[in-house]
Amino acid sequence: MEDIMQKSKLILNEASKRNASDIHIVPSRKIANIYFRINQKLILFDEISSAVCEKLVSHFKFSASMDIGEKRKPQNGTLEFSFQSRRISLRLSSIPTPFQESLVIRLLPQDDSLKIEQLSLFSTDSLLLKQLTKKRNGLIIITGPTGSGKTTTLYSMMLAARQADQLNIVTLEDPIEKRTEGLVQMEINDKVGLTYNEGLKAILRHDPDLIMIGEIRDNLTAQLAIRSAMTGHLVLTTMHTKDTVSAIYRLLELNIPKHDIEQTLIGVIAQRLVERKCPLCKVNCSSFCEKLNNSKITAIYEMLVSTNLEKAMYGIFEERPDPIKFKTIQSQLIKAYALGYITRCSLEKWGDISEMA
């Protein structure tokens, strides 16, 4: 057991040292591979036996208060870890496979926070993000696929709003992604009856200036976000859609009335993480680069605000959407590649290269 504890600590230390965002333990018939996700790429770290894999996964699950006896169902858990005085929150997800359980551990540094100016590849997008944080009522949705940096943008916007003005910022999350001093954070706990609905009731009695709802995932959370915005608060939240316009369609699918959307929605932000061209390497980065920080990763934004947002909503609600001229993810990617800022790999991953012709 001591060997497994040392092995687990070694894996966490090495992943933290390399600034990995995730650890993947992937089993097969006789062996299991351990991968680190660094700069959005899976890099093989170690190969272990099937027996060691089983013990390692059980140890991580036990540490995260997961049921080690249940191996037939997916499970989630959290725990905290310290590395060189840095607090790192670990979010664990296990799923059953034909061989053994596969485990993914997401590493969420708790002390690292980026300023808005550090987020975007283009400075004009950072300025627009900062302008949105000055709003004092309405709904702002940040959207994009898993791992696109939505949470980082969300927290950077909240910290910018707090620094610009002394605000009471209250969050409702499931789970809390980043424990941050100066914010009042509340975590959903269904076991004790702390649901989204009960949490929001408590928040509204807590005199908030800005409310953050972790994610719109169903009709209930969508209604809560809209209701909070309609009471005169600024509400930040996230959603999983491919672009800004799709977020409006998604609200309609969740049975949010058109009038409520018009009255509350003040901005939709879609984003992707892209890889900047490395100043040290010409093609693939060396192992030296992998041990540096994640400064190579930056964000590309698509923002639907002001007049363009009004036009988009009108076109969708009247069922005659007309093309809107604004900076889409695709146009931003093409611009970044044409200027030599990002790699072709990033363009091919998120964009349509046929438009380059």
Architecture of domain 2-109: 2-Layer Sandwich (3.30)
CA–CA distances in Å: residue 290 to residues 21, 38, 86, 278: 12, 7, 19, 11
Q: Dump pLDDT digits (tens) for 71-117.
A: 999 999 989 888 988 889 999 999 999 999 999 999 988 766 788 99
Rounded Cα gap, residues 171 and 203, in angstroms:
8
DSSP-derived letter for residue 113 is -
CA 119 vs. chain centroid, Å, equals 13
Q: How confident is the model at residue 177 (pLDDT cuts 50, 70, 90)?
A: confident
Q: Tell me the domain boundaries of the chain.
A: 2-109, 116-356
Stretch among 1-15, 259-273, 294-308 having the lowest mean pLDDT: 294-308
Report the interhelical angle of 150-164 vs 123-132 (nearest 10°).
60
Q: How many residues does the chain have?
A: 357
Q: What is the pLDDT of residue 294?
A: 45
Please state, as a whole number, how many other Cβ atoms lie within 10 Å of the Cβ of residue 193: 7
Flag whether pLDDT at 245 surpasses 60.
yes
Residue pLDDT, tens place only, 192-234: 889 888 998 899 899 999 999 999 989 999 999 999 999 999 9
Supply the pLDDT for residue 178: 85
Q: Which residue has the tokens 């995730």?
A: 22
112-143 residue pLDDT tens: 678 899 999 999 999 999 999 999 999 999 99
* Nearest Cα to Cα of residue 78 among 192, 215, 200, 173: 173
- In this prediction, residue 279 carries a pLDDT of 59
Q: What is the pLDDT of residue 293?
A: 46
Average pLDDT over residues 298-317: 94
Q: What is the mean pLDDT of residues 239-257?
A: 96
| Residue 319 pLDDT > 60 | yes
Task: State residue 203's pLDDT score.
Answer: 93
Beta-carbon contacts of residue 41 (< 8 Å; ≥ 6 apart): none
Provide the β-strand partners of residue 185.
171
Q: Which residues contact 279 (CB under 8 A, 6 or more apart)?
A: none
Mean model confidence pLDDT for the chain: 89
Structure tokens that stand for 149 in this block? 């940096």
Long-range contacts of 145-149 (CB under 8 A, 24+ apart): 145/240, 145/242, 145/272, 146/240, 147/21, 147/40, 147/273, 148/271, 148/272, 148/273, 148/299, 149/119, 149/271, 149/273, 149/299
Q: How far apart are CA 9 and CA 56, in angstroms?
A: 11
Q: Which residues pair with 299 in a beta bridge?
A: 120, 273
Q: What is the DSSP letter of 32?
A: E
Question: 280: pLDDT confidence band, cut at 50, 70 and 90?
Answer: low
Q: In what order do the strands lie in the sheet with 184-187?
A: 184-187, 169-173, 210-213, 234-239, 138-143, 265-275, 297-305
Rounded to two decimals, the pTM is 0.85
pLDDT for position 84: 86
Q: Which CATH code, of 3.20.20.70, 1.10.8.60, 3.40.50.300, 3.40.50.720, is assigned to 116-356?
A: 3.40.50.300
CA 27 – CA 104 distance, rounded (Å): 12
Residue 6: per-residue pLDDT? 94
What's residue 87's pLDDT?
A: 87
Sign of CA dihedral 217, 221, 226, 232: negative
Tell me the backbone φ, ψ of residue 94, rounded to 5 degrees: -115, 145
Averaged over 12-25, what is the pLDDT?
94
Cα–Cα distance measured from residue 125 to residue 336, given in angstroms and rounded to the nearest whole number: 13
